[in-house]
Amino acid sequence: MRKIKFSKLNGQGNDFVIIDTVSSPLVLNKEQIIMICDRHFGIGADGLIMVKSSEKADFKMDYYNSDGSTAEMCGNGIRCMVRFIHENKLSGLDKMDIETLAGIKKVTMRPGSGSDIIIKANMGKPEFNPKNIPVDFKNNGPVFDRKLKIDSKDFNINCVSMGNPHCVIFLEDGQDLSTFPLDIWGPAIEKHKIFPNWTNVEFIRVDNRSELSMIVWERGSGRTLSCGTGASAAGVIAIKSGKIDSTNIKVNIPFLSLVKLKLSSIISNIPHHSYSSLCLPGKHWNQDRPILY
């Protein structure tokens, strides 16, 4: 019966189980990943990250959603992974190249206040070509402010890839993020037939010309407190739509106002930075059933 060492970290409320498979190779099946991420019978997390060796970069990130599916990229996850690498002394670098299914991402660290570490990930260039997101819409060209009808409700959707697909929707005037029925419309859009690989869904409110508020339904994980690629997608779409004009953007998420983005232009790389926290270090998981030791 094998015991597997793991740590649990969170970035802005997005929490992850992270396992070092560089020092000790490991293979988990889909059912095991789902069990680990289960908040009642497992460790509980939005996703699971395996830190692996890479022939192209300093390390490779294998990321799995809580439903066991793979994801191309996770903004908060990659920052937590770098914090894990630092805490476990797998590398002494403060600048790392991380291989992901969305390409190689550059991540840097610097000291914050106290024991905090501020970690910045370059999120790469936004992709608007529908074929590369992917999104199958009836009209050609970028999907901006296009009407999508679900049951009797119309949504004006905006689609972009930040290495993974996102559908960004601005709230109508008078709608409140805190009472918006995310659990109804999030999954309905996530798995809509126009998204062959499903999609992440962000509902956003423009607070002023440099500030947004956001709730998110993550592909393969459902409602989460935060999403790094989602915050980046929201900022890109807000600028593209002319709703904000600042290139230094703050994105408010439930309980926090810590997501900061800097966009030098709509086609440039997007740095995403904030704190990551270690919330459950150095525990073990029984591979046959999720018991903590």
Q: Is residue 181 included in any domain, yes or no?
A: yes
| pLDDT the model gives residue 291 | 36
- Let me know whether 259 and 282 are in one domain: no
- Cβ contacts of 105 within 8 Å, gap of 6 or more: 73, 78, 97, 98, 121, 122, 123, 124, 163
Judge whether 293 lies within some domain.
Answer: no
Paired with 203 in beta bridges are 169, 215
Average pLDDT, the chain: 87
Mean pLDDT of 58-82: 96
Q: CATH code at 149? A: 3.10.310.10
Please confirm, yes or no, whether 74 is among the known catalytic residues. yes
**Mean pLDDT, rounded, for 232-237:** 92
- Residue 179 and residue 280 share a domain: no
User: Tell me: the pLDDT tens digits for 145-175?
Assistant: 999 999 989 999 999 999 999 999 999 877 8
pLDDT value for 256: 59
Domain coverage including residue 98: 3-124+276-286
Q: What is the pLDDT of residue 34?
A: 96
In a domain, 281, yes or no: yes
Is pLDDT at 267 greater than 70 in this prediction? no
The catalytic position among 37, 80, 167, 227 is 227
Confidence (pLDDT) at 274: 46
The whole-number pLDDT of residue 271 equals 45
Residue 120 has a pLDDT of 87
Residues 134 and 249 in one domain: yes
Residue 227 designated active-site:
yes
Model pTM? Answer: 0.85
Measuring CA to CA, which residue among 160, 20, 16 is closest to residue 78? 16
Question: Above pLDDT 70, what percent of the chain?
Answer: 86
User: Does 157 share its domain with 81?
Assistant: no
Whose tokens are 């692996």? That residue is 52
55, 112: one domain? yes
pLDDT for position 270: 42
User: Both 134 and 260 in a single domain?
Assistant: yes
92 and 145 fall within a common domain: no
Quick check: 124 pLDDT over 80? yes
On whether the CB atoms of residues 159 and 143 are closer than 8 A, the answer is yes
- Do the domain assignments include residue 292? no
Task: Check whether 68 has a pLDDT greater than 90.
Answer: yes
What pLDDT does residue 260 have?
60
Q: Residue 12: is its pLDDT beyond 90?
A: no
Average pLDDT, integer, range 253-264: 61
Query: Rounded CA gap, 127 and 134, in Å?
Result: 10
Res. 27: pLDDT tops 90? yes
Question: 37, 74, 159, 167: which is the annotated catalytic residue?
Answer: 74
Q: What is the pLDDT of residue 179?
A: 93
With cut-offs at 50, 70 and 90, classify the pLDDT of residue 255. low
- For the stretch 179-221, pLDDT in tens is 999 999 999 999 999 999 999 999 999 999 989 999 999 999 9
Any domain includes 245: yes
Write down the pLDDT at residue 254. 79
How would residue 263 be classed by pLDDT, with cut points 50, 70 and 90?
A: low
